[in-house]
Structure 1
Amino acid sequence: MKKSRRSASKLGPPPESDPSAHLSKHRRVFDHLLASIQSGELKPGDRLPSEAELGKLFDASRITVAKAVHDLQRMGLVTRRPGAGTHVLAENRPSGRTFGLLIPELGLTEIFEPICHGMMRTHFARPDALLWGNSSVSAQDGAKAAEQMVQSFISQKVAGVFFAPLELTSDKDAANRRLARALDLAQIPIVLLDRCYLPYPERSQHDLVGVDNRRAGYLATSHLIELGARRLAFFGEEFAANTVDARITGFYEALRVFKVKPEGEPVWRGSPQDEDLVRRMIDETRPEGIVCGNDLTAARLMQTLLGFGIRIPEDIRIVGMDDVRYASLLPVALTTIHQDCAGIGAVAMATMLERLEHPELPIRDVLVPVRLVVRRSCGAHLGPRHWSETKLTEQA
């Protein structure tokens, strides 16, 4: 009679002399299971002991064991099957696949290059490959270039596409719908990067990996409020991605929580290099602090304000978003919200691979945490204070 594959439920704990005994229980469970998989003691298809069994073996809580097993799952080493437990992934899963990068603004927006590098460097991607599209086009020509990339990806039968939707053009919504529809008709899975291509509250039928932009807007705004700023403005580019809309929502939420009532319209949309627009914002809002939709907007606005003779942060404090490479190199080092671009890339690749393995899963928004990076532009080194009512109008 043919012998059936053995169960791994009798896997024993490490010996008492094990050098990992000083580690945390989570690390001991994780390391022991990982070593068992790598050594072949746990073979592809073998079932791991249940969480209750592992908890008893390692004298650990169910939460600790579940976290260790989840970490193995994130590494692509095990898979959970409802009603059947957790099994070591078989070695015959598809390999050597090619994925397309549909990022029309790859050469125009700083965050996407490190996101792509994060995809390539993660162990999830090996031995898969990424096709980089042509990014040497302007924002206006992005839609046409993106359509050409889509047709190329379809003809090459890529396994999936990572798509960062177009922004900063009036026809971006229609163009993004066309691009996604073409890939859907070709039955090519899509993982969205940074944002959905549909305006809120619509939601596409594709996984999305990005950051909590509402929280980012809240963190930036509340930081300025805690430094004493009460007259605040938000400045963003016209036709920007809906991530900026979410950041504006966080901006308003911080005003509400801290009971700050804006004078006039606090949200301004347009080019930060439009001197007439910037002067109008200063005259009407008299801002003590400005939250910008992203770091590029903050850099350009900073240049305009300095050209007016306005001092940063003594007269106006500024906070950006993204923490791009040049943020600390601006004339006044920029306080900003950092997003882990490499982490977004790694999670995006893991999300794509899981989507290919389990196409029946519901769509997901996977949000990577953000954090505030304090530099000189917010004036934290000056301490909390109140501004003169006439200072800005005199200088502007």
Structure 2
Amino acid sequence: MPDIGLKDVAERAGVSIGTVSNALNRPELVSESAAARVAEAVDELGYVPNIAARQLKAGRSDAIGFSVINITNPFFADLAFGAEEQALTAGYSVIVGNGFDSAERESRYLDLFERQRVDGVLIAPVEYHEEYLERFRRRGVPVVLVDQRHPRGEFSSVSVDNRLGGRIAAQALLDGGCRHLAFVGGPRSREQMNERLAGLHEVADAAGVRTTLIETTTLNTGLGREIGEQIADLPAAERPDGILAGNDHLALGLLQGLVGRGLSVPEDISLVGYDDIEFAGAAVVPLTSVRQPAREMGARAVELLMHHLAGSDDPIEARFLPELVVRASTRSL
């Protein structure tokens, strides 16, 4: 079937091409009868506007690209939801690219955003991509980092004080009587994981308690279950009695593995997750977790992007504070 164009719509409606264009883009400029004839012709012919051509002519796409680490994690789904809600109020749509923990897949989405000429880009990065940041900057496309800061502060960012998050989680474990803390998470190439671990170490070192690092290359429930089983199989003297997981997905898997091997949470091992996703409170043992305000973070990222689209080049670092949500997976003395 040949492409249907403005000329075909104009002929069917019995009006000029200019009238069709105005009816579709500036309907206040045409009469009601002309607009009705154009609408009827569009329906009959199945005409679809050439958005790419319109974008090229207008110099804007009314779209924002948002690349996230893994949309199957509810934290990133909530980030995207918050961004979308805020973008809609500003007249923009959000195109979400799911990196699915793959730097290669993430790069493909960033290339797509560039080809689609989106007006701005949000990146919650699988890996740090300085070359893409520079490419977008050269094209005049503003970028805001989400859940990570730029190492030199040259790009705006929205993140949480993850070092503080690690500290408050560790302190909760110590306050419950734990004396051997483990951090399970990774990869260490991600700034937020290093900060959470550093926060835990600050508190543990000050209290003189033992710490163990179990580094992972990803964060999911299946891996957490395997690690939980391995921890449960350790001799009691070698097992940590308090665990901070890199995120709630991993923590829920750890909980399954520990309980499945006959250990009690929190009597044998106290467990703290990170993100406070909806499922954390619905677990068999409701999970204590460090809350990140994901939707607020997504909305704030879009606000910063709009700030730059309005002409500001000054980077802004928006920093949220984490909050410990205490549930049944941690002991209290």
Whether 1:126 and 2:84 are equivalent positions in the alignment is no
Match of 2:109 in 1: 149
Separation in 1, partners of 2:279, 2:192? 21
Q: How many Å apart are 1:306 and its aligned residue?
A: 1.5
Q: From the superposition, tell whether residues 96 and 177 of structure 1 become closer, same or farther in structure 2 (CA, over 3 Å).
A: closer
Separation in 2, partners of 1:240, 1:231? 25
Q: From the superposition, tell whether residues 161 and 341 of structure 1 become closer, same or farther in structure 2 (CA, over 3 Å).
A: same
Q: How many Å apart are 1:375 and its aligned residue?
A: 0.8
Q: From the superposition, tell whether residues 104 and 224 of structure 1 become closer, same or farther in structure 2 (CA, over 3 Å).
A: closer
Separation in 1, partners of 2:235, 2:247? 19
Q: 1:186-201, aligned counterparts within 5 Å?
A: 186-196=139-149
Q: How many Å apart are 1:341 and its aligned residue?
A: 1.1
How big is each residue's C-alpha offset from its partner over 1:80-136, in whole Å with a ceiling of 9 and x where there is no partner? xxxxxxxxxxxxxx9983211122522x32211111211222378421221223x3x
Q: How many Å apart are 1:336 and its aligned residue?
A: 0.3
Separation in 2, partners of 1:218, 1:193? 22
Q: Determine which structure has the larger helix proportion and give its number.
A: 2
Q: From the superposition, tell whether residues 350 and 238 of structure 1 become closer, same or farther in structure 2 (CA, over 3 Å).
A: closer
Separation in 2, partners of 1:234, 1:307? 20
Separation in 2, partners of 1:351, 1:275? 40
Preserved contact between residue 321 and residue 338 of structure 1 (Cα < 8 Å)? yes
Separation in 2, partners of 1:366, 1:124? 21
Preserved contact between residue 298 and residue 320 of structure 1 (Cα < 8 Å)? yes
The letter of the residue matching 2:213 is V
Q: How many Å apart are 1:343 and its aligned residue?
A: 0.8
* Aligned-partner SS, 2:278: coil
Q: How many Å apart are 1:204 and its aligned residue?
A: 5.6
Separation in 2, partners of 1:255, 1:220? 11
Match of 2:64 in 1: 99
Separation in 2, partners of 1:301, 1:291? 10
How big is each residue's C-alpha offset from its partner over 1:135-169, in whole Å with a ceiling of 9 and x where there is no partner? 3x743xx3333233223222222111001101xxx
Normalised by the length of structure 1, the TM-score is 0.61
The letter of the residue matching 1:304 is G
Q: 1:1-396, aligned counterparts within 5 Å?
A: 97-106=62-71, 108-122=72-86, 125-133=89-97, 135=98, 138-139=100-101, 142-166=102-126, 172-173=127-128, 176-196=129-149, 202-203=151-152, 205-239=154-188, 241-256=190-205, 259-263=206-210, 265-270=211-216, 271-272=223-224, 273-274=226-227, 278=231, 285-361=238-314, 363-379=315-331, 383-384=332-333
Q: How many Å apart are 1:246 and its aligned residue?
A: 0.3
The letter of the residue matching 2:330 is C
Preserved contact between residue 150 and residue 182 of structure 1 (Cα < 8 Å)? no
Separation in 1, partners of 2:236, 2:300? 44
Normalised by the length of structure 2, the TM-score is 0.72
Q: From the superposition, tell whether residues 334 and 345 of structure 1 become closer, same or farther in structure 2 (CA, over 3 Å).
A: same
The letter of the residue matching 2:264 is R
Q: From the superposition, tell whether residues 280 and 342 of structure 1 become closer, same or farther in structure 2 (CA, over 3 Å).
A: same
Q: From the superposition, tell whether residues 359 and 366 of structure 1 become closer, same or farther in structure 2 (CA, over 3 Å).
A: same
Separation in 1, partners of 2:164, 2:234? 25
Preserved contact between residue 233 and residue 285 of structure 1 (Cα < 8 Å)? no
Preserved contact between residue 214 and residue 249 of structure 1 (Cα < 8 Å)? yes
- Aligned CA-pair RMSD: 2.7
* Aligned-partner SS, 1:309: coil
Mark the runs of 5 or more structure 2 residues left unpaired by the alignment: 1-58, 217-222
**Looking at both structures, which has the greater relative contact order when contacts are Cα pairs under 8 Å and sequence separation is at least 6?**
2
Preserved contact between residue 224 and residue 378 of structure 1 (Cα < 8 Å)? yes
Preserved contact between residue 266 and residue 285 of structure 1 (Cα < 8 Å)? no
Separation in 1, partners of 2:148, 2:122? 11
The letter of the residue matching 1:311 is S
Separation in 1, partners of 2:235, 2:328? 21
Separation in 2, partners of 1:275, 1:370? 25
Relative to structure 2, which stretch is displaced further, 237-246 or 268-277? 268-277
Preserved contact between residue 242 and residue 271 of structure 2 (Cα < 8 Å)? yes
The letter of the residue matching 2:121 is V
Q: From the superposition, tell whether residues 255 and 213 of structure 1 become closer, same or farther in structure 2 (CA, over 3 Å).
A: same
